Structure formats: C-alpha cells, structure tokens
Chains A and B, each alone.
Chain A
C-alpha cells in the first residue's frame, strides 16, 4: 500500500507564474489536508477536503490560492501569480475517516518544496 504521494518534490517558479502541487492520498482515504511550512516555522493548516468538497478552508490565503479534490485523480493545490513569500514546503496528509469517525490519524506525504525566484 503506497503512502501519500506528492509531486513534484521540488518546484521552482518565477514570480507571477502558477504553481500546481499534486497529492494522491493513500488507497481508501477520502480525506485530504494541506499544510504549509514556512522557513523556521511549524506546519500551518491550509485546507481540508473530501472528494469533490471543501470542508474547511480557514487556513487558505484569501487570494491566489485554491484547492480541489475531484472525484477522480489527485488533490491539487494551485497557487496563481506566485510571489517570493509563497516559497515554502507544502505537505499533504490523508486519513481514512474524518473527525468523529473513529480513526482520524493522518498520514503525511514527503512534501513539495516550492521556491519562487
């Protein structure tokens, strides 16, 4: 059973370009979480998605950032018109159930390190 797969592992973008980060959850997991880790800081929650639904996006910046988790395919975190401050490690986690469903342990991917030049 493959773990949570994120790609690419490293992504370099020039200011103003778009960044697309992909996350394939573990098999059987329908809950996906995105976190961002800025240099010298801990991981910060961004968004929680189930298939085709955004459940909690309280940690997402209001502009330029969006996320989706379609019925088929990986979850995508999209950053439009990137700026230097977007440089960070972006981690995806998946779990088999949501809160209140018994098992809320999250399994993390290796992350995508975004560098904006």
Chain B
C-alpha cells in the first residue's frame, strides 16, 4: 500500500543535541514533500517544503530537510535543538498528479529536555 512512514514515534533529546527525524514514502512518480510542526494546543504550521530544484531545503527555525529520490526519503534535521522545539512533527506527501490532498505520516513527538 502507498504510504508515508515516520520511523521514530517518540524522540527525547537534551537541548543542543542534533536532531534527525526519518520520513520515507512509497509513491512512484513526482511528489511534493512537506514537514509540518504542531506545538501543544496549536495548529499545524509548515516548517518547510520541497517541490523541485535543490534537494536540500531550508525551513523556518533552523530546520532543514534533504530529499533523496533514490531512497524515497525526506529526513528532517536540526543541528541544535531548543526546549521550544518540543512538539509533534508530521511528514506529508502530495502526489503532483493528485487533487492536492496530503498523505501524512504517523507523526513524531519530540520532547526536548532543558
């Protein structure tokens, strides 16, 4: 079945540690890729997106993600996390030929200890 998989369900880090959250998808063809963040009690916010071009995408708040087409991956990274990064992170895929709907991964809860 076509899907989006986030490998880490729950991640706990100390402040200043480096972060990498995995995301793999199983769709063939052209895709658009997204990472969203949901802070406690708030709406989903877009961190970054990849449509085409440079596979290394920089987003807000120091986040970046790398699209590796051969691995069907779009991993999220941040070199040094802060306590304020505590949130839930969602990877999502939009098939370019589709109606614009997003297919989400299960989400990763990140807890950063001060």
B98 and A99 form a contact (CB under 8 A): yes
A33 to B100, CA, bound (A): 9
Count chain A residues whose beta carbon lies closer than 8 angstroms to a beta carbon of B.
28
* Interface presence of A45 (CB below 8 A): yes
CB distance from B61 to the nearest CB of A (A): 17
Count chain B residues whose beta carbon lies closer than 8 angstroms to a beta carbon of A.
26
CB distance from A20 to the nearest CB of B (A): 20
Q: Which of the candidate stretches B12-20, B65-73, B76-84, B103-111 sits at the interface with the other chain?
A: B103-111
A71 to B41, CA, bound (A): 31
A95 to B49, CA, bound (A): 15
A11 to B92, CA, bound (A): 27
A48 and B99 form a contact (CB under 8 A): yes
Assuming the contacts A42-B106, A99-B96, A105-B49, asked whether A91 and B101 have C-beta atoms less than 8 A apart, the reply is no
Most chain B beta-carbon neighbours within 10 Å: one of A35, A41, A107, A108: A108
A59 to B101, CA, bound (A): 10
Convert B39-63 into 0s and 1s, putting 1 for each residue whose CB lies closer than 8 angstroms to a CB of A.
0011111100100000000000000
* Interface presence of A114 (CB below 8 A): no
* Interface presence of B32 (CB below 8 A): yes
A45 to B98, CA, bound (A): 12
26 contacts between A and B (CB under 8 A): A3-B43, A4-B43, A41-B106, A42-B90, A42-B104, A42-B107, A43-B90, A43-B104, A44-B104, A45-B101, A48-B99, A48-B100, A55-B99, A56-B99, A59-B101, A91-B44, A95-B100, A98-B100, A99-B94, A99-B97, A99-B98, A104-B32, A104-B94, A104-B100, A105-B49, A109-B43
